């Protein structure tokens, strides 16, 4: 079953979907899926498009409660992207899905994985993080400040252009996420790092750099022949389900 609601996060109104299983007993665990930051023309409306379906599948197979929200400027959510705003959005979602003694895990795709690590490193409620195709080096991932800001505008994650930060400030705000520092602080809580061998947006070496920053205290899954869009790859789904099962 997939329920839909909206959450206020600052000046943004976020779309949130929460999937529960009708076939299996509900485990005392919550998984939050975190989409990435689209960089291609018009992809802001579609960046999280497959995640509700994935949430339903994961909930039915695992018995976990699985939530996925579209962060500011993405999909049907209002507002404008910034790393600071997205951190606030994800924190708002965690506060919504926290239910008593239930344990929270995060699974992030692309930049969403880096964001998940940054949030989890400073939040004891989060017991596990899985990242897929996530950058370890955000300076290289962003590229030059003006080009990065232009890509954000082109992707369409800007509700009001007046709210979009200046180029240098926008890039520095992203760099403050610091996935390598975050994963080092998060370990030894449960970690899974997944990456495709044919990812041309984020080099596969970034996955190994994340593992090294965690002092090796993480599972590494390299998916042969996979590109950057892992959220629809059945091998990624199987990997994530196996991790959830071992996380009970």
Q: Kindly report the CATH number assigned to the domain that includes residue 176.
A: 3.40.50.1820
The answer to whether 107 touches 243, Cβ cutoff 8 Å, is: no
CB 19 within 8 A of CB 67: yes
Residue 27's pLDDT is 66
List the domain range (segments joined by +) for residue 57: 2-246
Strands 126-132 and 103-109: parallel
Q: Does the pLDDT at position 66 exceed 80?
A: yes
Instruction: Say which DSSP state 159 is in.
Output: S
Q: Is the pLDDT of residue 48 over 80?
A: no
Q: Is the pLDDT of residue 230 over 90?
A: no
For residue 102, pLDDT beyond 80: no
Write down the pLDDT at residue 100.
66
Q: Is the pLDDT of residue 229 over 80?
A: yes
Average pLDDT over residues 43-58: 82
Element (H, E) at 30: strand 29-34
Percent of all residues in the chain with a pLDDT value above 90, rounded to a whole number: 78
pLDDT of 191 higher than 90: yes
**Residue 41: half-sphere exposure toward Cβ, Cα within 13 Å:** 0
**What is the distance, to the nearest Å, from the Cα of residue 63 to the centroid of all Cα atoms in its chain?**
21
Q: Can you read off the two tokens belonging to residue 50?
A: 């497959």
State the pLDDT at residue 101.
Answer: 61
At 186, phi and psi to the nearest 5?
-75, -40
**Cβ 221 vs Cβ 243: under 8 Å:** no
Q: How many domains does the chain have?
A: 1
pLDDT at 13 over 80: yes
């Amino acid at each position: 079953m997939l329920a839909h609601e909206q959450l206020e996060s600052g000046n943004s109104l976020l779309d949130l979907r929460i999937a529960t299983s009708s076939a299996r007993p509900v485990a005392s665990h919550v998984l939050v899926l975190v989409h990435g930051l689209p960089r291609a023309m018009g992809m802001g409306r579609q960046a999280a498009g497959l995640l509700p379906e994935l949430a339903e599948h994961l909930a039915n197979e695992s018995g976990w409660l699985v939530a996925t929200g579209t962060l500011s400027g993405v999909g049907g959510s209002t507002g404008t992207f910034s790393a600071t705003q997205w951190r606030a959005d994800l924190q708002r979602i965690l506060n919504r899905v926290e239910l008593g003694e239930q344990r929270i895990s995060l699974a992030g795709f692309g930049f969403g994985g880096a964001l998940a690590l940054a949030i989890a490193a400073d939040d004891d409620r989060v017991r596990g993080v899985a990242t897929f195709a996530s950058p370890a080096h955000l300076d290289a991932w962003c590229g030059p400040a003006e080009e990065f800001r232009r890509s954000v505008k082109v992707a369409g994650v800007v509700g009001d252009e007046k709210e979009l930060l200046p180029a240098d400030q926008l890039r520095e705000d992203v760099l403050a996420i610091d996935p390598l520092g975050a994963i080092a602080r998060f370990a030894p809580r449960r970690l899974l790092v997944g990456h495709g061998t044919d990812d041309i947006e984020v080099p596969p070496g970034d996955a190994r750099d994340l593992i090294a920053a965690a002092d090796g205290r993480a599972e590494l899954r390299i998916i042969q022949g996979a590109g950057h869009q892992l959220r629809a790859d059945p091998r990624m789904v199987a990997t994530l389900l196996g991790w959830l099962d071992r996380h009970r």
